[in-house]
Each structure stands twice: as C-alpha cells, then as structure tokens.
Homo-oligomer: A and B are copies of this chain.
Amino acid sequence: MHAAVVTRFDGPIEIQDLPVPELRPGQVLVRVEASGLCHTDIHAARGDWPVEPALPFTPGHEGIGVIQHVGAGVTGRAVGERVAVPWLGYACGICDYCVSGRETLCESQLNTGYSLNGCHAEYVAAYASHVVPVPEAVSSFDAAPLTCAGLTTYKAVKVSGLRPAERAAIFGIGGLGHLAQQYAQIFGAETVAVDVTGEKLLLAAELGATHVVNAAADDPVRAIRDLGGADVAVVLAADPRVLQQAHASLRRGGRLVLVSLPRDNAMSLPIFETVLGGISVIGSIVGTRADLAEVFRLHAAGRTTVKYETRKLDDINRSFDDILAGRIPARLVFEL
C-alpha cells in the first residue's frame, strides 16, 4: 500500500509502498478514504516534542475509512462500517481516567500517527474499541477534519462551561478556529472572532460570528472589553502573546482555554487579575470517543460547516510547507 513514512526528523517525508499492516488482537483494518492533516503531524515528523515517536512511522490521526477486516477478539465493530481513527488510538479502559469519562488523560494511551502508525496511508490498523462510527449523513471529507480539529475545539468549548447568552472570543480563525466558533454558537453563546486577515474574518462572519476583530488593525483586548469582555476565550494561535491578550479580554469569572502548543512553552499568567477576577485557565486535550460521536451527530444535524481543501498524499511535503507558511486558510485532507 501507498503510505507516508517519516524516516528521519530532519528530512522530508517519504511516500513508500508498504505491505498492508497486520492486526494485533483487538484491532480492525481500515481502508482509509480521507485523512486530514493536523499541525501535530508536522510536530511529530520533526520530533519537536519531548517524547519523540519511534522511527519509521506513518503520521495522521484524522483518518476516515471502512473496516475491511476485524482482528482476534474484536467485539462491537464489523466489516463494512465506516469509522474515524482519531488521535486517541488506545486507552487502557481500567484506570480511573478511563472509567470516569476522561480517557484522554489515560497514562497508558497510544496515539495514532505517533506511537501507532497513522492514517496517511491506504490502510491503517486501529484498535476496534477506539474507532468511532461515522453517521451516513457525514461525508468522509467532512468527517476527517472533525476527527481532530472538530473534536479538539468542541471539547475546548465543552470544558469551558460556556452557556447560552455568554460571550466567547475565538483567537485564530483557521482550521481549528472556524470550528471552535461554530461550537461556541451551538452552545448558545455570541461569538467574537479575532484574526489578522480579512479573509478569515469574512469566513467567521459568514459562519455567524456576532462580532469580528481584525487584530492587525485593532487592539482585540480593547475591542472585546468594549463589548463587555469575554466569558470564554479559546486560543488556537500557538503564541504566548495571544494567550496574554485572550486573558486580558476576559471579564470577571471568565475562562481561558488552552489547546494549542506554542513552540515557547510558557505563558506569563498575571496572578492579580486571575485571583481578583475569579478567572480560570483550563488545559484541554483532544476529546473522548463520546465527544467525537457528538461532533458527528451535530454535523449530521446540519449544525456545522467544515472548510477544507483536498490534496493527494504525494503532496504531503508541499502541504507541510504551505501550512507552515500560513498559506492554508482552513484544513487539508488527503484523498486515498
């Protein structure tokens, strides 16, 4: 099969012809139809993070496809089902995180496209317990970005406790942000979309943003505080300075949700304002299988719009470059 393979952290990804993967007990074989490209793939391929993936490996954790085979001991999934293969490739199922609905914190988790071979390939072997069925009303190409970008932002909004009639500020309206904004609206909030390009702010307005702020022209802190301040701020721009702005734009009782991982691993948190304002800063990491099922259900109900471009897998290196150069307005999805 055709597969993208990272063989070294300092060079391009190779497209190789590999045997179809063999299944471990509990796994299913998925014929991938669509595989979304996530910024995490770039970090994985470059060994950016403290615990590097073992080489060689195939990245990709927004894979959608149909189950071709089921391995030993699989229950609950069947050949022919169309499923998503997300970042949370496996969790132990018995630790207190797993049992209490917080499987994304499982210390024994395996991650697709990182510690498990991923979805930028024609086939992927995935643990049956952790693939998520895709409803018929959701196309594979919509489902792909929903599987990480959608899930991550949905969960971010969920853990923020955002409620109807509150105001949410979304910093960065790209592949993640345009979904975060929609989820904030689904949770009943009015939204303020903050970005530095007019094109993205047009998209935000079209998707229903109550307000848009061009941070290249206006101070977003002042603009949001003039509206009364934000109850929730979700930051999709991996930049500590934007985190500071987001914090400063909160009204009392506000919540700042962190989901992106900036290169510089530190945010300077103003203690005085945090204490006096009763502010919370909340870390959120992807979402559970139940969250992803909800994301799909909302899309099937017509409540979200997914913006993406399709690419050929052979274009993976160019695609990385395009993302790093900021040339991609929303999300890329490989056709397989």
Inter-subunit contact B101/A100 (CB<8 Å): yes
Copies in the assembly, this chain: 4
User: A293 CA to B94 CA in the complex, in Å?
Assistant: 11
Asked if A268 contacts B271 (CB within 8 A), the reply is no
Chain B residues positioned under 8 Å from A137 (CB to CB): none
> Does A277 interact with chain B (Cβ within 8 Å)?
yes
Flag A126-169 by CB within 8 Å of B: 1 or 0 each.
Answer: 00010000000000000000000000000000110001110000
* Stretch of A7-15, A171-179, A257-265 on the interface side: A257-265
**A220–chain B nearest beta-carbon distance, Å:** 20
Instruction: Give the docked Cα–Cα distance between A289 and B98 (Å).
Output: 10
The residue that A104 contacts in the complex, of B262, B278, B301, with Cβ under 8 A, is B278
Let me know if B289 and A99 touch, CB within 8 A. yes
A281 at the interface (CB under 8 A from B): yes
Contact status of A288 and B258, CB under 8 A, knowing A268-B268, A271-B265, A277-B283: no
How many whole Å from A309's CB to the nearest CB in chain B?
A: 27
Q: How far is the CB of A73 from chain B (nearest CB, A)?
A: 5
Can you name the residue of chain B whose Cβ is closest to the Cβ of A240? B271
Counting chain B CB atoms within 10 Å of each CB, the highest count among A76, A129, A240, A265 belongs to: A265
Asked if A280 and B282 make an inter-chain contact with CB atoms under 8 angstroms apart, the answer reads yes
User: Given B268, B276, B279, B295, which contacts A266 in the complex, CB threshold below 8 Å?
Assistant: B268
| Contact (Cβ within 8 A) B281 A280 | yes
- Please indicate the chain B residues that have their CB under 8 angstroms from the CB of A267 in the complex: 268-269, 271
Q: Given the known A-B contacts A253-B105, A290-B96, are A262 and B271 also in contact in the complex, defined by CB atoms under 8 Å?
A: yes
Residues in A lying within 8 Å of B, measured CB to CB: 25-26, 49-50, 72-73, 75-76, 92-94, 96-97, 99-105, 107, 129, 158-159, 163-165, 183, 186-188, 190, 210, 240, 243, 252-253, 258-262, 265-285, 288-290, 293-295, 297-298, 301, 303
